[in-house]
């Protein structure tokens, strides 16, 4: 049995049990969502004791240096004293505006008390009391961040964030996390951005960063949904593509394609337009199964795994 101390109490973990499961079972209130190491909601900090390597996968060097780790991925083999990672990491904010982008997606602007150290394309964990959910940053201006939130009916947080009546409400934010952002190291490379649903949010940020940096290589943006009403910002992106000679925007749907909206699974559509992605830098975001499928197919078509990044929007799991 491994001992974990948290908030002055010591709890015993059963063999193989994660710190998150052990602390929740002991009645501690630990924010969490995906339980899969994908959202950052369960971030804790080790005051003493060795942090197993898998518990820090994907965290920034700065977070690792502070002893931060993902409780849902942490199966310690020796005693640890852990505490909330909040100190110095949690930034208070308020919902400055909530504006509908479609019948189910809202643009949520959060004004923070201090700027975050990060860039658009990464994701933050939005906290409301003990509740934490992750959202990608579509735009970041000083201490203001813009999110695209899809309302999940019956969901714990997204209906609140998408409700215009929530404007002015207080939220806290931690992060940002993740490696999904534009790096201006080679302005001539082909960029392939492909996302489903609100997977457009990080891609919107990456696209605008690339354009602002004067990216010269071809930029492909694919936005997929089940049906046309699952797409949003389509007119804005089509106008941006008309004004940007090296940008090609391809909206696509599984059913009901019409006009400029192509029909087909987004992985088929991407490879139809970019059959040889060998030298491309690829960003994939949105539904986890689609991100995994696209990653595999684009890799098999010749892209290097080093050049493929993205975020799977893993939903919260029960418990």
Chain positions contacting ligand FES, by CB under 6 A: 32-35, 37-42, 70, 72
**Least distance in angstroms from the C-beta of 37 to ligand FES:** 5
Question: Of 37 and 195, which has the nearer Cβ to ligand FES?
Answer: 37
Question: Of 107 and 189, which has the nearer Cβ to ligand FAD?
Answer: 107
For residue 61, list its beta bridge partners.
Answer: none
Give the tokens for residue 105. 């997606």
* Residue carrying structure tokens 């995906």: 34
| Other beta carbons less than 10 A from residue 143's beta carbon | 14
Question: Of 30 and 280, which has the nearer Cβ to ligand FES?
Answer: 30
* Residue carrying structure tokens 């992605």: 277
Question: Of 4 and 70, which has the nearer Cβ to ligand FES?
Answer: 70
Pairing verdict, β 105-112 and 144-150: antiparallel
**Least distance in angstroms from the C-beta of 14 to ligand FES:** 19
The number of residues in the chain equals 319
Question: Of 38 and 266, which has the nearer Cβ to ligand FES?
Answer: 38
Q: Which does 42 bind (CB under 5 to 8 A by kind): ligand FAD, ligand FES, none?
A: ligand FES
Alpha-carbon Rg for the chain, nearest whole angstrom, is: 20
Residues that bind ligand FAD (CB under 6 A): 34, 38-39, 123, 133-136, 147-150, 152, 154-158, 198, 201, 311, 313-316
**Least distance in angstroms from the C-beta of 177 to ligand FES:** 9
Q: Which does 150 bind (CB under 5 to 8 A by kind): ligand FES, ligand FAD, none?
A: ligand FAD
| Other beta carbons less than 10 A from residue 130's beta carbon | 9
CA distances from 246 to 2, 144, 200, 224, 250 (A): 56, 29, 19, 20, 13
Backbone angles phi, psi at 297, to 5 degrees: -70, -35
């Amino acid at each position: 049995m491994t001992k974990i101390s948290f908030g002055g109490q010591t709890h015993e973990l059963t063999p193989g049990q994660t710190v998150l499961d052990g602390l929740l079972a002991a009645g501690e209130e630990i924010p969490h969502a995906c339980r899969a190491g994908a959202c950052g909601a369960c971030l804790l900090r080790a005051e003493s004791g060795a942090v197993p390597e898998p518990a820090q996968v994907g965290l920034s060097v700065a977070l690792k240096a502070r002893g931060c780790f993902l409780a849902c991925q942490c199966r310690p083999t020796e005693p640890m004293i852990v505490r909330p990672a909040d100190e110095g990491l949690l930034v208070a904010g308020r919902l400055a505006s909530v504006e509908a982008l479609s019948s189910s997606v809202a643009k949520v602007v959060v004004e923070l008390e201090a700027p975050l150290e990060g860039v658009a394309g990464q994701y933050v964990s939005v906290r409301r009391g003990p509740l934490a959910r992750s959202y990608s940053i579509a735009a970041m201006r000083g201490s203001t961040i813009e999110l695209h939130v899809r309302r999940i009916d019956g969901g714990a947080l997204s209906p609140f964030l998408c409700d215009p009546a929530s404007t002015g409400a207080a939220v806290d934010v931690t992060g940002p996390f993740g490696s999904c952002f534009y790096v201006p190291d080679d302005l001539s490379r082909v960029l392939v951005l492909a996302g489903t649903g609100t997977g457009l949010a990080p891609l919107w940020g990456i696209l605008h960063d690339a354009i602002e940096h004067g990216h010269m290589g071809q930029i492909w943006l694919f936005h997929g949904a089940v049906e046309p009403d699952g797409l949003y910002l389509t007119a804005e992106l089509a106008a941006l593509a008309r004004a940007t000679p090296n940008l090609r925007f391809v909206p696509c749907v599984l059913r009901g394609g019409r006009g400029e909206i192509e029909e087909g699974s987004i992985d088929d559509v991407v490879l139809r337009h970019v059959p040889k992605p060998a030298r491309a830098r690829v960003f994939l975001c949105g539904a986890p199964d689609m991100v995994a499928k696209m990653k595999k197919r684009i890799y098999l078509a010749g892209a290097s795994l080093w050049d493929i990044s993205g975020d799977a929007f893993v939903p919260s799991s029960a418990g």
